Amino acid sequence: MMKNEHLSREKEIYKITLWGSMVNFMLLIFKFVAGIVGHSSAMIADAVHSLSDFATDIIIIAFVRISEKPQDENHDYGHGKYETFATAIIGTVLLSVGIGILIDSTRNIIAFYNGERIEAPGMLALAAALISILSKEAIYRYTMVKGKRLNSKAVMANAWHHRSDALSSVGTLVGIGGSIFLGKSWRVLDPLAALVVSLFIIKVSVRLIKPCIDELLEKSLPKEIEDKILDIILSFSEVRSPHHLRTRYIGNRIAIEVHIRMNGDMTLKEAHDITKKIEASLKEEFGENTHIGIHMEPQN
């Protein structure tokens, strides 16, 4: 990737994250006020979730600048895994928030069934939940489209964080609405909604963390991708018996290393020219930033 393309991608990611962080900051303030004034534990939990969104936006801004740096003498494969690390942090923060909401809501449900009085949430809390759903779903769609176009796992992870906040607010809306309109015997719906939403949040966080662990542990690419790589290599008639194929992710790009056999009577230049064509075909399929290492062996 050329320097101008690096700068363009970095600038675009900053722009997307900035929009999200502005929405998160306004929402978290509004939700905290609505949760406190409206006496809603579910809304306060929702506000904490928005706070975690805002914090992860800051993490992305900090790590993307590092991940976009080209390779140097200390990082032969570039800095792409910093972006993976940022994604793992987002997932971990999200998991922590989900567990925290789960514990707090369970405590409130137990207290309710032990006879403790739960105050009815106010209409301000209900309005905050509705506004949160609409705004977070909009920013999720915007961020996910941009993340896919930029091929940024950190941006797409942040999009899911926005979506989880929208889902959290759906549960909050149901819980607050039921607590308000169904009477005091149904006020347990407020913490119950928070409990259900926390399970969704935990599920999303695990889905974000697992691919990061796979990458950091150098897990191979899926079989269908490796099969596609072999098909491209074997499309060159001069090549025989590709073997020792090794693949992995490096941030938002992939690495391919493979051994191939060719006619031992070829000149070094002829063999080199063929490998350059193979590299060009692989980069056309998997991206210009693909790391490729081809080891040539003479055909017996």
Enumerate domains of the chain plus CATH numbers. 3-216 (1.20.1510.10), 223-299 (3.30.70.1350)
pLDDT at 65: 64
C-alpha span between 165 and 24 (Å, rounded):
10
pLDDT for the residue 79: 52
**Predicted local distance difference test score (pLDDT) of residue 259:** 93
Query: Token pair of 228, please?
Result: 């596609």
Q: Which of 293, 296, 291 is nearest to 270 (CA)?
A: 296
Bridge-partner residues for 259, per DSSP?
243, 295
By C-alpha distance, which of 167, 164, 193 is closest to 178? Answer: 193
Ordered alpha helix ranges (H), the chain: 3-37, 41-67, 81-113, 123-150, 153-181, 189-216, 223-234, 268-286
What's the first-to-final CA gap in the chain, in angstroms?
A: 38
Threshold 0.85, pTM exceeds: no
Amino acid identity for residue 214 in this structure: D
C-alpha to C-alpha distance for 31 and 273, rounded to whole angstroms: 62
CA diameter of the chain = 88
pLDDT at residue 85 in the model: 77
Q: Reduce the secondary structure of 178-201 to three states and give it as a string.
A: HHHHCCHHHCCHHHHHHHHHHHHH
Q: How far apart are CA 174 and CA 283, in angstroms?
A: 49
For residue 33, the model assigns a pLDDT of: 92
Dihedral (CA of 48, 20, 203, 96) sign? negative
Tens digit of pLDDT per residue, the chain (300 long)? 444 555 577 677 777 777 777 888 888 899 889 988 888 877 877 787 777 667 666 766 676 666 666 665 655 455 566 777 777 887 888 888 888 888 988 988 898 888 787 777 888 988 988 998 998 888 889 888 888 888 777 788 778 877 877 877 887 888 888 888 887 788 888 888 778 877 877 887 888 888 778 777 777 788 888 899 999 998 888 888 888 998 887 766 788 889 998 888 888 888 889 999 998 899 888 877 788 889 988 876
DSSP 122: P
pLDDT on residue 1: 46
Tokens of 291: 């790391």
Strands 240-250 and 291-299: unpaired
Burial grade of 183 (CB within 10 A; 0-12, 13-18, 19 or more): exposed
